[in-house]
Chains A and B, each alone.
Chain A
Amino acid sequence: MAADELDLRLQARARRAYELGRLLAALRLAPFVLAAAGAAIACGRPFPVTCALALPLLLLSVGLAYGGGPAGRAVVPGLLAGAGALAAPLLMATVGHACFGPACMSLALPACVVGGGLAGVVIARTTVRRDADLPFVLGALAVAALTGALGCTLAGAAGVLGMLAGVVVAGAPVLVATRR
């Protein structure tokens, strides 16, 4: 067998090793997503709703991290930013706040908005610090939104929308101001 052919075969094996290594590295994020889903379920979120959010979050996180590039680098900041939005409404529930009917909305909805605002600030600051571009912002937003939604379903669709509004309202000015 010619040396060139051997080198080509080795190159193909090296490429497979590289792709497998990236996939394994990306799968290291899975425990964090599962922990977020576990926390949501432990705090009383319905299992089907949590699974419906956690599965796309898992696929998105692992897929983006595997693919790499700016969007791949956005996964960890997105998870961290979303963790705040996830924790705020869940903490409300665990400290004894009523979690059904209008009484739930009185605190859970503002908690979602504040959590979303925190996520927006974290994403904006990380974007500026890393001098990142649009794919980074979009990747981080998508991951943070799904992570936060795991907790914000506590306040229903309004909670999720409130969180997203918080992300945009708090994140956009920080991004614009620090980019100048």
Chain B
Amino acid sequence: MEGGERAELRRLMARLAGGDRAAFEPAFALLWPQVRAFAARYVAAADAEDAAQAALLRVFSRASEYDPERDALAWALGIAAWECRTLRRKRERRREGGVPPPDRPDPGESPEEAVIARDLSAAAEAVLGTLRRIDIETITAAAAGSGLRGAMFRKRLSRALGRLRIAWRARHGGR
């Protein structure tokens, strides 16, 4: 999304939060492609449409809580990340047999540790969703070990991690 569109979305979401229904259609037109693309990246292709729709409905149901000081796209994608995660976990629970889920806990972990690890992972994913796309890509590349290893990448990673820390503190305090 271009900077102008992003600013426009921010204005539209602020108007929606204030109860201006005329902003609904343009906000929908800007948000839906973004949420759909985001869901397609984070959920299996078969579930992407369901996840995107659930995320979009959640975003609009919480539109009156939107704080105009925040970036609307980051806020919406944070909610979308949470919805994607919830849907993925729901699907994993329903799945009988088959391939074990990728984030299956370490056999050495106690059930309590596994639950804590899962909650932490979900919280981190939700916070990650509030960052800019470039930050998400940088952190994801670093975690996968596939990023460039130049000074430029390290600088970008450092800035992205700094923003992740700030976003984490804003959402979860000092925990």
The answer to whether the Cβ of A68 comes within 8 Å of any Cβ in the partner chain is yes
A14 touches B60 (CB 8 A): yes
Number of B residues, CB within 8 Å of A: 18
A17 with B61: in contact, given A10-B56, A11-B28 (CB under 8 Å)? yes
Chain A contact patch, size range: 10 to 19
Check if B19 sits within 8 Å of A67, measured CB to CB. yes
The interface residues of chain B lying within 8 Å CB-to-CB of A72 are 18-19
Q: Is residue A21 contacting chain B, with contact meaning CB distance below 8 A?
A: yes
Q: Enumerate A129-167 residues with CB–CB distance to B below 8 Å.
A: none
Inter-subunit contact A18/B32 (CB<8 Å): no
B62 at the interface (CB under 8 A from A): yes
Report if A73 contacts B (CB, 8 A).
yes
A5 in the interface (beta carbon within 8 A):
no
Return B40 CB to nearest CB of chain A, in Å.
Answer: 15
- Do the beta carbons of B60 and A18 come within 8 Å of each other? yes
Q: Could you tell me which residues of chain A, from 59 to 74, have a CB within 8 Å of some CB in chain B?
A: 66-69, 72-73
Q: Which residue of B lies closest to A73 (CB)?
A: B18
Known: A10-B32, A11-B25, A14-B28. A68 touches B19 (CB 8 A): yes
Alpha-carbon separation in the docked complex, A25 to B32 (Å): 23
On whether A17 and B20 interact (CB within 8 A), knowing A11-B28, A25-B65, the answer reads no
Which of A10, A14, A15, A66 gathers most chain B CB within 10 Å?
Answer: A14
A15, A18, A22, A73, most chain B CB atoms within 10 A: A18
A20-B61 Cα distance, complex, nearest whole Å: 7
Which residues of chain A (62-117) have a CB below 8 Å from chain B?
A: 66-69, 72-73
CA distance A112 to B115 in the complex (A): 57
Chain B 4-55 residues near chain A, CB threshold 8 A:
16, 18-20, 24-25, 28, 32, 53
Shortest Cβ distance from B16 into A: residue: A18
A14 proximity list for chain B (CB < 8 A): 24, 28, 56-57, 60
Q: A20 to chain B: which residues have CB within 8 Å? A: 61
Q: List 13 A-B contacts (CB under 8 A).
A: A11-B25, A14-B24, A14-B56, A15-B24, A18-B61, A21-B65, A22-B19, A22-B63, A25-B64, A25-B65, A67-B19, A68-B20, A72-B19
New A-B pairs, 20, CB < 8 Å, besides A20-B61, A72-B18 = A10-B53, A11-B25, A14-B28, A14-B56, A14-B57, A14-B60, A17-B58, A17-B60, A17-B61, A18-B24, A21-B61, A21-B62, A22-B63, A22-B64, A25-B64, A67-B19, A68-B18, A68-B20, A69-B19, A72-B19
